[in-house]
Structure 1
């Protein structure tokens, strides 16, 4: 065959192939709409913190630490002794105070005896004065005798007043000594550093021999009730979907199994600088990650049963649309989207279970186009 004939035959063959290709419908990947459950989640990343951290500081000044009874990581009960301070000086003061109390009580007893004696003398002096006045009226007593009886009566009254004042002074001294004793006993009680709450000691700064001071660093830090939370920040676009009580799963660095948790706190404001909102997730397990460790929480904000398709199959706009393949022909429909999670989306209206949709929206096909469907699993 001549070269010209071979070229003509090749052109005819290409023309025939092009005609066959034009008659074949283009292939598109489709996914089947299925009914199932979808859960929408929000991711929270941050660090573990104590829900409430109680600071334990000495309540008495100037005493040295002589004994430490608790370490970091120990679980303690409310009222448990964590450390002891040197109380020798306070023991000396309590002995001195006991002597002051005894002295005041003796003074009170002496004053009461003096009052009894002065009262008797006053009664006798008053009786003698009365009789002398009666005798003077009959002329049996002189004016000098009357003056002596009056002076004796006034002296007896003065001695009674003096004894009464001595009793009051003794009682005041006793009250002061007892108040001082209460103060010393309180300081002695505070020489034992006790935990105010039950929980876990997260930090100990107490050192043997150090002089305790309420103005310095706390001697102990306690995680109240051993309650640890994940504190993180969430973008304001998803922050509004978080509510207290929502279930969550928390993963901690260094732990193989995740922790069950719930949303305990959703802050009332968003940071104006970075547009992030603060969230706290309370852990439910007994085992606790260390404070300051990194954690990642997944919060379930919504759950639904409905028709599910790949997220890529929906073209978002006003309204949202989806391309359905029915009998090899593209049909564009308006749909009402719902929850989105893990690359899937819920279609609440506009699509039935079992229908096939174009897996990737905007695949250069239009309403009414003929296509060849290639099924894609949407699981």
Structure 2
């Protein structure tokens, strides 16, 4: 507009004709330029608007495309088997230690090996009984003499009888002296063995002798102590015999009376008791199985000297084995004798039953012992570590599908569907039964638990329920 006004004002200036020509062309150029600029501006504005809105549209399309389709199951209460999980070791139900009270005798025969199943009364080992049998023969001879003396007691005494009693009494007194000397010798030997054992124990601490040497000296001291006790008993028996001899001699010198019969009868009874004692000692040289059972350890070897009280064999009575497991005070109150159990070590399996529940609970650990019998026909061996489950009926529990429970390190979690969003929740998992998992914490009844597709989700991911 400014150019047009200037053109009108310059009509009176003919000298500027060329300039007017240029001014007449200027509006046309300006209008064309303005039009081009307008079109370009419009195009630019439209392009910028498109470029600004494109990411939102793309994001919306991408968001719509990333919504996962999942399936969900309602968390609900249902009855599940009530089982108690246990761990422990297999052990013998009734372990037995077998030995012989005969001390100082050599083992001459061993008839059982580890793993043998033996029967009650079966001979497992034999000790040398030759000395005892000789003593038995002597006792039996004395018994015959005692019986003859009993018959003779009813007859009047003769000088020969008195002489016999005197000789017997002297022999008994001599025997007392001999037994006393043997006791003194045994006491001295015991003291020496004790001193040696103490010295070897001290040397063992200093490393001067081996453990075996020290134990040998300790064993010798124990044996020496047993020898002293045996010598004391022998002396006591000899003194008794001497007293009996003195009594017999006194009665004999008084002539035949009724008391003679009593004395002879007592002598015969005493000798008979001695014979029975010797026979019992000989019987103890034969080591027999006290009951049917499985030999688990053989400690007897031919040529070994048996020590009274030392174990020669260990066995499981009747082969019965069991699982001993510790359970909490809460669980032990829910156990009952007769409840069924399944035992496994990952390879072997067996069915058992609860046969004994500890009547007490440890005051420190609050744990009690439950004992579960295992069939002897199973492949389990004492010492094996196993796991077990005890069936206690059924109980109501909150469950979700097993496949919906995912793990992350030491923790478990599930995804809950709510308003199109997957919510990740950590859960406390209890028992697992077939396709269901018990949930103690983290899920409520009625929650929609995502199953298929849960493994590909993250917390707060948008999801859609499929069929």
Cα deviation, residue 257, structure 1: 3.3
TM-score by length of 2: 0.54
Identify the match of residue 295 of structure 1 among 360, 372, 386: 386
Q: Normalized per residue, which structure has more helix?
A: 2
1:278 match: 369
Cα deviation, residue 8, structure 1: 1.1
2:5 match: none
Cα deviation, residue 292, structure 1: 1.3
- Distance across 1 between alignment mates of 2:285 and 2:142: 23
Identify the match of residue 76 of structure 1 among 115, 118, 123: 118
- Distance across 2 between alignment mates of 1:11 and 1:198: 94
- Distance across 2 between alignment mates of 1:210 and 1:309: 67
3-state SS of 2:371 partner: strand
3-state SS of 1:162 partner: coil
Pairing 1:187–2:281 present: yes
1:5 match: 46
Distance 1:90-1:52 versus aligned 2 partners, 3 A rule: same
Identify the match of residue 320 of structure 2 among 227, 249, 264: 227
Distance 1:178-1:308 versus aligned 2 partners, 3 A rule: same
After TM superposition, the structure 1 = structure 2 runs for residues 1-379 of structure 1, keeping only pairs within 5 Å, are 2=43, 4-15=45-56, 29-31=71-73, 38-114=80-156, 162-216=256-310, 218-235=311-328, 238-252=331-345, 256-303=347-394, 309-310=400-401, 340-342=431-433, 344-345=437-438, 357-359=448-450, 372-374=464-466
1:128 match: none
Name which of structure 1's ranges 257-266 and 49-58 shifts more when overlaid on structure 2. Answer: 257-266
Equivalent pairs counted in the alignment come to 303
Cα deviation, residue 373, structure 1: 2.2
CA deviations on 1:49-88 (whole Å, 9 max, x unpaired) are 1011011121223322111111111111122211111111
CA deviations on 1:1-20 (whole Å, 9 max, x unpaired) are 95543331244455567778
- Distance across 2 between alignment mates of 1:269 and 1:8: 83
8 Å contact kept, 1:310–1:359: no
8 Å contact kept, 2:417–2:450: no
- Distance across 1 between alignment mates of 2:342 and 2:110: 38
Structure 1: gaps (5+ residues): 116-157, 314-322, 331-338
CA deviations on 1:121-176 (whole Å, 9 max, x unpaired) are xxxxxxxxxxxxxxxxxxxxxxxxxxxxxxxxxxxxx9996242322221111010
- Distance across 2 between alignment mates of 1:302 and 1:7: 73
- Distance across 2 between alignment mates of 1:357 and 1:193: 72
Query: What is the RMSD of the two structures over their aligned residues, measured on CA atoms?
Result: 4.2
Cα deviation, residue 179, structure 1: 0.6
Larger Rg: 2
8 Å contact kept, 1:40–1:341: no
Cα deviation, residue 273, structure 1: 4.5
TM-score by length of 1: 0.65
Q: Normalized per residue, which structure has more strand?
A: 1
- Distance across 2 between alignment mates of 1:288 and 1:19: 65
3-state SS of 1:281 partner: strand
8 Å contact kept, 2:416–2:450: no
